[in-house]
Amino acid sequence: QQQVKQSPQSLIVQKGGISIINCAYENTAFDYFPWYQQFPGKGPALLIAIRPDVSEKKEGRFTISFNKSAKQFSLHIMDSQPGDSATYFCAASMEYGNKLVFGAGTILRVKS
């Protein structure tokens, strides 16, 4: 119940295309869903996050779509660029305790 399942494991997208990464969770007590971007040898950087009271959040080229009834959320990267090539992690937490449960990660490669 504490797991967050992330797919796909890896993704190759053409420059200018849309990258879509999906996550699913079981624990309905989760109420905070961030996405992190990690480059090799670096720590994860917070990209965008959402709470269950909204179904979509957009920041620049990055959009989170959230489906509370299906217990799923996804990251869409519009106009994907080679510089977006990185590993992306979804995560979830309950407000109390702040512990993040991470997905397995998606390696994104954007081909120029």
Partner 1 sequence: GAVVSQHPSWVICKSGTSVKIECRSLDFQATTMFWYRQFPKQSLMLMATSNEGSKATYEQGVEKDKFLINHASLTLSTLTVTSAHPEDSSFYICSGGGGLAGSTDTQYFGPGTRLTVL
Q: Which two tokens stand for residue 49?
A: 């996050």
Q: Should residue 5 be labelled a site residue for partner 1 when binding is judged by CB under 8 A?
A: no
Q: Does 54 participate in binding partner 1 (rule CB under 8 A)?
A: no
- Which one among 13, 47, 86, 100 touches partner 1, defined by CB under 8 A? 100
- In the bound state with partner 1, the residue whose beta carbon lies nearer, of 64 and 105, is 105
Q: Which of 20, 61, 102, 109 binds partner 1 (CB under 8 A)?
A: 102
In 3D space, the residue among 44, 47, 38, 45 whose CA is nearest the CA of residue 87 turns out to be 38
Question: If DSSP codes are grouped into helix, strand and coil, which group holds residue 105?
Answer: coil
How many angstroms separate the CA atoms of 56 and 67, rounded? 9
Is residue 110 at the binding interface for partner 1, with CB under 8 A as the rule?
Answer: no
Question: Per-residue x/- mask for partner 1, residues 22 to 51, rule CB under 8 A?
Answer: ----------x-x-x----xxxxxx--x--
CA–CA dist 89, 57 (Å, integer): 17
